[in-house]
Structure formats: structure tokens, C-alpha cells
Amino acid sequence: MSARQPRFTSQVLIDTTPLPDDIPKVQELGASSAPLLSASFFIGARCKAYNDDYMMCKTEANGRGEFECMKEGRKVTRCAASVIRDINEHCLAEFRSHWQCLENHNQQLWNCRPAERQLNKCVFDKLKLEKVIPDTPKGEEPVHLRKRQIFQSS
């Protein structure tokens, strides 16, 4: 990264030079924002170790993480893609109905709880991945399991 971020970004430069061959290739994750948000907690459930590993590597690399943590980064990408692939294979209908609902409701999870419940159930039955919201207060029902919802916009 340069010393100074560009401020007057009137133009963009698209550099189509591929990565050099000495860097191993990894297929980038192809899911867009709403499917990623819909699958995010399952990605977290399966890939927590890889993600934590990558973040720890970046913390310990003192600002050179983009270069020195590429190995961990490839693992993160591959793991997330594997979750998306498995959900597509086993729960495609529920997955699609949830992320299309999210996309129609400003990508707010609390607007799509019925679709989310079906997706969570399907993913838990077929893939054994459970949605757990980290760092929620102990002894309280998590927000995605509550029977009664107070706020919802249409």
C-alpha cells in the first residue's frame, strides 16, 4: 500500500495482468452479497478455524499480511466456496428463497426470519451446520430463534 491513499479518485485503472505463476492459484468465491449474507453463519460454523487462523496471521504480520498470509487466505476462500457449494447442492430451494427475500428487504436478516428458519433447519439436517450468533448474552434466547418478533418492516 502506498504512503498516501488517493483522494480525488476521478478514474480507475483495471490491470488485467494475472498473478505470477509462483503464487498458487485459487478460484475466487463467486457468490454475491445476498447469498453470502444468507450463508454467512454457516460459513462461520464450518470455517471458523481457517478464518481465525487468517486473522491471527494478519495481526502478527505487522501490516504485510496481504503478502505473507496468502496461504491462509486461500484456505479461507476454498472453505467458504465449499460451504456455498454444499448449500447449493442440498438446500438450493430454501437458500434461494432466503437470499431473494434478503435482496428484496434491504438485506436485513430480521425481515426474513420465516425463510431463514427453513434454511437453518435444512442446513442443520443435511450439513450439520448450525447458526450460532457469537458473543450473544448468556441465558437469553438468540434473536433468530425467538417466537415473537417485535419489529418488522412489511
Partner 1 sequence: MGVPFEALIPYGIMLGMFAFSAASVSKLREIQNGGKRARRGIDAWDQQMLERDRRLTGFVRGQTDRPEAPPGFEVNNPWRVEKRFY
Which stretches of the chain bind partner 1, using CB under 8 A?
A: 6-19, 27-35, 81-82, 84-85, 88, 95-96, 99-100, 103-107
C-alpha cell at 15: 490491470
Q: Smallest gap, in angstroms, from Cβ of residue 92 to partner 1?
A: 8
Which lies closer to partner 1 via its Cβ, residue 108 or residue 140? 108
Q: Decide if 25 contacts 70 (C-beta within 8 A).
A: no
CA dihedral 28, 34, 39, 41 (to 10 degrees): 110
Evaluate whether 75 touches 27 at the Cβ level (below 8 Å). no
**Is 17 or 62 the residue whose CB approaches partner 1 more closely?**
17
Q: For residues 82 and 69, give the distance between their C-alpha atoms in angstroms, rounded to a whole number.
A: 20
* Least distance in angstroms from the C-beta of 99 to partner 1: 7
Q: What angle do CA 126, 132, 133 make, to 5 degrees?
A: 145
CB of 63 to partner 1, least distance (A): 19
Length of the chain: 154
- Minimum Å gap between C-beta 118 and partner 1 is 16
Q: Which is nearer to partner 1, 8 or 137 (CB)?
A: 8
Q: Kindly tell me which of 25 and 147 has the beta carbon lying closer to partner 1.
A: 25
